[in-house]
Amino acid sequence: MNAMWIGIVAALGGALIGASASLIQMVLNHFREKGQHNDSLLVTALQFLAGNENERSCGISMIEGVFCYRKEYVGVLVPALTSQAVYLLLHTEATASRTEFYNWLRIMGLLKALFERFQIVGDYYGEIGNAFLIKGHPGHRGGVDIPFETLKIWAQKYSMNLDLEL
């Protein structure tokens, strides 16, 4: 093989290595930027979750559509969703709001899916059970109007053996 062909092969090899490195860098930058965008979007979703009933609905939609089944976000989602479920169940003053009732149902569905998918038990699960017991107590006032039968159904969905009786 003469020197010209060796030079051509070496030049092509160098160009291929340079192009590969450039492509790898481009892909890594894309994923880094996407991660930063997702983190920013998650902050927005959490801010909406703590807002009024329509904002909460939008925050839930963002969580359902973008973050729900991604393991890296479970550590943020479960506490935030649990807090909102308990708030809606026990503390909100929008007692007759159908929007908040449906927000609560959606949150409960998300939590159930997260608990099952990622095998979550413990404090957050206990918080939900405790809130069910308080809400089921005849003297409790406050929180979204949730029919007693609906509470019992959700307690069963969560496999909670709660003594809910009116």
In the predicted structure, residue 36 carries a pLDDT above the cut 90:
no
In the predicted structure, residue 77 carries a pLDDT above the cut 80:
yes
User: SS3 for 138?
Assistant: coil
Which tokens sit at 122? Answer: 């413990």
Average pLDDT of the segment spanning 112-138? 84
pLDDT interval class at 151 (50, 70, 90):
confident
43-54 pLDDT, tens digit each: 888 899 988 999
Distance in angstroms (rounded) separating the CA atoms of residues 36 and 25: 17
Q: What per-residue confidence (pLDDT) applies to 71? A: 86
pTM > 0.85: no
Distance in angstroms (rounded) separating the CA atoms of residues 129 and 40: 32
Give percent of the chain above pLDDT 90. Answer: 23
In the predicted structure, residue 166 carries a pLDDT above the cut 50:
no
The more confident residue out of 118 and 105 is 105
For the chain, what are the domain ranges?
Answer: 3-157
In the predicted structure, residue 105 carries a pLDDT above the cut 50:
yes
Distance in angstroms (rounded) separating the CA atoms of residues 44 and 58: 10
What count of other Cβ atoms lies within 10 Å of the Cβ of residue 31? 9
* Exposed e or buried b per residue across 120-155, where buried means at least 16 C-beta atoms within 10 angstroms of its C-beta: eeeebbeebeebbbebbeeeeeebbebeeeebbebb
Q: Which amino acid is at 110?
A: L
Distance in angstroms (rounded) separating the CA atoms of residues 95 and 15: 67
Which tokens sit at 136? Answer: 């089921």
Distance in angstroms (rounded) separating the CA atoms of residues 38 and 83: 22
Q: What per-residue confidence (pLDDT) applies to 84? A: 95
Closest by CA to 161, choosing from 139, 132, 127, is 132
Asked whether 142 and 92 are in contact (CB, 8 A), the reply is yes
